[in-house]
Chain A
């Protein structure tokens, strides 16, 4: 476990216990906590300017609108 995460682990384990009912029981989590924090930060920053009424559904329909329309397979 990297030193930078050591201080986080008590909190991480408490969060898993209280909100996910998960008990790793000593199984190594290493730096997933840090990776998750970085990913969530990236996600928040990337989506900062999205409109209020954005819709997460219908990705296939979006792709279909972007296909070539000239019969290219």
Chain B
């Protein structure tokens, strides 16, 4: 911890602004300093308009001075994955193909954060078209992990992970189709929420896979995450898959007693391939819950989970290829080789198989909830099964074996996307190489509040979330 206000949590920053202890301009300048200093080193920033950021901050301070009602995120500088549209501002989606794209509308998620008073001060780098779990981007450059720049950030919300961990902003939106919020959160030591499918509107967010895409925040604490989620969750007529129910009060869940809650310890699947140093840390996190009165219950996982990883890839590639069909035909050379290779898989999916897999999904989520959540309130799993790989060892390009390697990285994330369930990434320490390690909490549909309650209980008992990478 330093005297730098950029090191405050989002919640602390919002509170400090609301009491007048600090101004939005001061916080924005602190973030801009770090964005300019560390952003290029980490390759985290896709676009930065310093004058616009300061103008937003000055407007926030002016509104506060005039006695205007303040939203819960008033004046707090955020930055987001470069796939959330804001009318009149470029959104390149980590690509060359869309480098000059300027949307004419603003995404519902950004509009929600705007309404809560947050500032949007930068566009953050990402995997090309959000298709990739390692963070590599062959066309606009690859972000680096702030904890060790030789290591991958995870993807596809790679810049979001790097920027929030490096204290370049207080929180960031990511998107999660197969793990793209949770994996960068895990690699960079952050809290990342992949909400229930349909909990947050995707309107105005670059589509990758309509059946799987979700929108959620990456932050340093659970409280910060709940504050952002509260501002973006809810029904939206512009996204017909959003759930009709209004979300609960996530912040009210924080600090609630967790004793008596049943946490599922998977007996099968999720611990397959887990490295010993990861297992040690993940199992230690279970002890924290035991100490707080939770009951740890071994749970048999439905066998069908073992195929969900591949089926998630099938849906993603098929829907992605549908979205990208025109560019794959007309501009194949403008894609990076990894993106083109992964997207190309979808060109070969038989339509009958694709439709049957979507049908199967409904059956399997019913079976999973019946078998797992009839016994426990939440499932606890390792997030990544291996320590955070280096950029070099995870740069599979389009080489033989790349598909299997990527499957292993997303082993424990993609089934959660396939099932449409909420998944919360929780940092739980560091492996011997100094890189973060995380566990995952998975809940019933729309149980984000419960996951935040459990995540907050863990952070109240530990201090992993207070550690920051040394960039100087």
Residues of A bordering B, CB below 8 Å = 2, 12, 15-16, 20-25, 27-40, 42-47, 50, 54-60, 62-64, 66-68, 71-73
Contact = CB atoms under 8 A, between A and B. Distances in A.
A39 B420 contact: no
Nearest to B420: A63
B403 A35 contact: yes
B398 A73 contact: no
Nearest to B364: A46
Interface in B302-347: 304, 307, 310-311, 313-314, 317, 325, 328-329, 332-333, 335, 337, 340-342, 344-347
B313 A39 contact: yes
A4 to B, nearest CB: 8
A56 B450 contact: no
Given A32-B345, A66-B444, A73-B249, A59 B353 contact: no
A43 B444 contact: no
B2 interface: no
9 contacts: A43-B311, A46-B357, A47-B359, A47-B360, A57-B358, A59-B241, A63-B198, A68-B446, A71-B248
B7 interface: no
B196 interface: yes
A43 B252 CA distance: 42
B399 interface: yes
Contact of B353 (A15, A47, A54): A47
A45 B304 CA distance: 11
Contacts of B344: 29, 32, 36
B354 interface: yes
Contacts of B247: 73
Contact of B399 (A30, A42, A46): A30
B242 interface: yes
A63 B341 contact: no
Number of chain B interface residues as a range: 35 or more
Given A40-B350, A59-B420, A60-B242, A72 B307 contact: no
B274 interface: no
A16 B347 CA distance: 8
Interface string B240-264: 0111110111101100000000000
Given A23-B329, A43-B357, A50-B359, A73 B448 contact: yes
A32 B399 CA distance: 10
B361 interface: yes
Residue with the greatest number of chain A CB neighbours at <10 A, chosen from B248, B344, B353, B448: B344
B287 interface: no
Given A2-B400, A63-B365, A64-B445, A32 B342 contact: yes
Interface string B351-380: 001111111111101100100010000000
Interface in B419-449: 420, 444-449
Nearest to B404: A35
B395 interface: no
B402 interface: yes
B328 to A, nearest CB: 6
A29 B211 CA distance: 25
Contacts of A22: 328-329, 332, 347
Nearest to B450: A72
A22 B344 CA distance: 11
A20 B346 CA distance: 12
B449 to A, nearest CB: 3
A67 B446 contact: yes
Given A23-B329, A46-B307, A59-B362, A40 B400 contact: no
Nearest to B344: A32
B85 interface: no
Q: Which 4 A-B pairs have the closest CB atoms?
A: A73-B248, A73-B449, A36-B348, A56-B358
A28 B341 contact: yes
A32 to B, nearest CB: 4
Interface in B89-146: none
A19 to B, nearest CB: 9
A54 B197 CA distance: 21
B68 to A, nearest CB: 29
A69 B163 CA distance: 38
Contacts of B355: 56
B365 A43 contact: no
A72 B211 contact: no
A34 B361 CA distance: 24
Contact of B359 (A33, A38, A54, A64): A54
